[in-house]
Amino acid sequence: MTDLNKLILLLQNVNGIGDASIRKLIVNEKFKEIIDVQITYSAILAWIKKNESYFSKRANISSLTINDLKIANEKRKEIEESSAKLGIKIISYFDEDYPKRFKDMAFSKECDFPVLFYYLGDIKLLNSEKICAIIGTRKVSPKAKEYGMRIAKKMVDDGYVVVSGLAEGCDTIGHRGCLDAGGKTVAIVGTPLNTIFPKTNKNLQDEILEKGGLVISEYPIGFKWGAFAFVQRDRLQTLGSDVVIALQCSIDGGTMYASKATRKYYKKLMTIEPSLIDDGNVTGNKELINFWGASSINEEWFQN
């Protein structure tokens, strides 16, 4: 790891310092102030206090001590060592291979990019020329599955890398359809990379990596993940893609989080024409077409 990556990971382990503050420091080029100095605990503490306005009150910067930084650094070392043992690599905003689509968000009003994340596989896939996300409900109908496999194959044939979230249902269809078509796929997950959820997709994750794909997470080993982590994961699926395709979804399902993010990040949104998959819940599909400006995927679309 570079010194900057170590510093970011240390900051993430200081009580009260969150990624929002680290993003502000990055965007305002405050890390440049510490690049050329010897990074000691004293230097880090002085730098943090100098930039106190970038941190929330919850961080209580005025009372931060060198001992607090030492504790955070021990946590950093544990994460780094446990990741290395499993072959998990760590990348930050400052690395050459950091995804351009993520970095572009640093210069937008949303400023919602991951400051640092963990990965297994080929990180260069997230800088591919064309990327699409295939998402949707876990309770996928037979017709939606059939169309989902066809959609994944068409996107691969059109030169796209397929991104999804390794969940059951539509995510699995996106990955599976891509692999069966000979394409490369990226799984963006809401758990640490030493945890596979659901466990039933372990073989799928293994195959993704064996066939030159990529698995990434914002969460380190030991992180206590929950439902909130999957909402954050959904934003990354959208952020890292050019096109988001919701195969099948209900109006109150989790897919709507990623669909909302397409507006936020100015991404193209598509969904299957509800009449084609009338054997399942398509309330979300209808909502996306009627009120969210989603393009409808019909039989004619496959001919283009």
**% the chain with pLDDT above 70:** 98
pLDDT band (50, 70, 90) for residue 30: very high
* CATH, domain 121-303, list 3.40.30.10, 3.30.70.20, 3.40.50.450, 3.40.50.2000: 3.40.50.450
Mean pLDDT of 123-142: 96
* Contact partners, residue 251, CB within 8 Å, separation at least 6: 283, 284, 286, 287
Does the pTM of the predicted model rise above 0.85?
yes
**Where do the structural domains in the chain lie, given as residue ranges?**
3-85, 121-303
Residue 107: CB atoms within 10 A of its CB come to: 10
Torsion of CA 270, 204, 116, 125, to 10 degrees: -60
Identify the CA nearest to 52 among candidates 65, 62, 67, 40.
62
Contact 223, 116 (CB under 8 A): no
Q: What is the pLDDT of residues 70-119, one digit of tens each?
A: 999 999 999 999 999 999 999 999 999 999 999 988 877 777 899 999 99
pLDDT > 80? residue 288:
yes
**Residue 37 has what pLDDT?**
67
Residue-wise pLDDT for 172-184, tens only, equals: 999 999 999 999 9
Between 304 and 242, where is the model more confident? 242
Mean pLDDT, residues 276-293? 92
- Whether residue 260 is predicted with pLDDT greater than 90 in this model: the reply is no
